[in-house]
Amino acid sequence: MSRFSMRNGTWSVGESSSSTSLSSQHDNEDDRMIALVLTEEYANLDRGVAKRLSNLAPVPVTNPLFH
């Protein structure tokens, strides 16, 4: 249920506390699920990058000043 109120000469629309808290709980659950999925995806990417980096051939370093 929405409520209208006037403060400092402006109108605002607010939600009732029960629907606001329920919506907030759903948002928190959604945020946790998104964080979990992203954590798993980033871990998979990190493992893939680590494998590729460990398979790179060494690059010889030369300093042109000492030739």
Mean pLDDT of 27-33: 90
Mean pLDDT of 23-32: 86
Summarize pLDDT for 40-59 with one digit per residue, the tens.
999 988 988 888 888 888 88
7 vs 35 pLDDT, higher one: 35
d(C-alpha 1, C-alpha 17), whole Å: 9
Residue type, 41: E
Could you tell me what percent of the chain has a pLDDT over 70?
A: 66
Q: What's the farthest any 2 CA atoms get from each other in the chain?
A: 81
pTM of the model: 0.44
Dihedral in degrees, nearest 10, Cα atoms 13, 16, 22, 23:
0
Residue 21 clears pLDDT 80, i.e. is over it: no
